């Protein structure tokens, strides 16, 4: 394939050979679906220490001991394993992206020295809070969809965060976001939020998901003047008010709400809305 170089080394796993490939200037090794239980299952790994990317998704890893042999790693994929913690990662000082979806991780202990991390994707785990992330001030994207988070806190130092994904958790209130003024995208859908508050400082927000919550009214959005996309569908909202200051709003989703009154008249003040869902409004 164009852009992919072979013959850069290999490892064997349970007798099967896996070659390192060079893609976009990075040395990558992908070993998926091989029932790997331990890093030592990668036979010949000591000869490939210069790896930039390693994908061990869809295996049976329960420990990360042994990854220190790859100090140059920048991207690490560990999706769908059996990990319960992240001990063993702190030696990977060059890591900037890590993917941890579908494990049994409960906390972020053991990654405080990974100060170059820009992207953490850990949906579908058992994470209950944000402790252990405070030193990762270069984080740009944090994805914790479908975990066990009940409260937003301990994020004050993540001032460079641009994308925060917290949908499908157990959050009841919006708080702890005051310092995240660089946020462009915030996903809080499929929680149990009853009131929109605590978003006032987030004036850079362009996309906001609050659908599938317990909202009864639209308020607390007045300062979000850069907002372009707003999801409020599947709540208990009865009136369309509080959108008058959102002059840049282009996409407004309000389906499956018990809206009362004249819908068309109520949105007259939002002149920039180009698309919205009203076909399935409850009457």
The answer for residues whose C-beta is within 8 angstroms of residue 11's C-beta and 6 or more apart is 17, 18, 29, 31, 42, 43, 44, 45, 48
- Read off the pLDDT of residues 84-137 as tens digits, 9 standing for 90 and up: 999 999 999 999 999 999 999 999 999 999 999 999 999 999 999 999 999 999
Q: C-alpha angle 164/119/142, rounded to 5°?
A: 20
What are the extents of the domains in the chain?
Answer: 1-148
Task: State the Rg of the chain over Cα.
Answer: 22
Helix (H) or strand (E) holding 264: helix 263-266
CATH H-level superfamily of 1-148: Ribonuclease Inhibitor (3.80.10.10)
**Two structure tokens written together for 265:** 């008249």
- Read off the pLDDT of residues 29-62 as tens digits, 9 standing for 90 and up: 999 999 999 999 999 998 888 899 999 999 999 9
The predicted model scores a pTM of 0.92
């Amino acid at each position: 394939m164009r852009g992919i170089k072979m013959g850069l080394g290999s490892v064997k796993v349970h007798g099967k050979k896996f070659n390192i490939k060079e893609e976009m200037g990075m040395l990558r090794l992908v070993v998926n679906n091989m029932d790997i239980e331990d890093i030592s299952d990668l036979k010949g790994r000591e000869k490939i220490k210069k790896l930039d990317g390693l994908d061990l998704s869809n295996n049976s890893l329960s420990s990360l001991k042994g990854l220190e042999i790859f100090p140059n790693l920048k991207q690490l994929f560990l999706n769908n394993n059996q990990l319960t913690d992240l001990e063993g990662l702190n030696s990977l000082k060059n890591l900037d992206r890590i993917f941890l979806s579908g494990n049994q991780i409960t906390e972020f202990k053991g990654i405080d020295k990974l100060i170059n991390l820009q992207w953490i994707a850990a949906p579908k785990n058992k994470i209950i809070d944000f402790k252990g992330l405070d030193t990762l001030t270069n984080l740009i994207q944090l994805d914790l969809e479908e975990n066990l988070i009940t409260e937003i806190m301990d994020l004050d130092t993540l001032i460079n965060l641009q994308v925060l994904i917290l949908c499908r958790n157990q959050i009841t209130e919006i708080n702890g976001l005051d310092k995240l003024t660089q946020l462009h995208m915030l996903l809080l859908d499929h929680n149990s939020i009853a009131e929109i508050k605590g978003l006032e400082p987030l004036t850079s927000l362009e996309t906001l998901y609050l659908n599938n919550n317990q909202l009864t009214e639209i308020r607390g959005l007045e300062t979000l003047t850069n907002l372009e996309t707003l999801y409020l569908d599947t709540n208990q909202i009865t009136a369309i008010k509080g959108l008058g200051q959102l002059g840049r709003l282009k996409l407004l989703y309000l389906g499956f709400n018990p809206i009362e009154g004249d819908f068309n008249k109520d949105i007259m003040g939002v002149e920039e809305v180009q698309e919205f869902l009203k076909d399935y409004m409850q009457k």
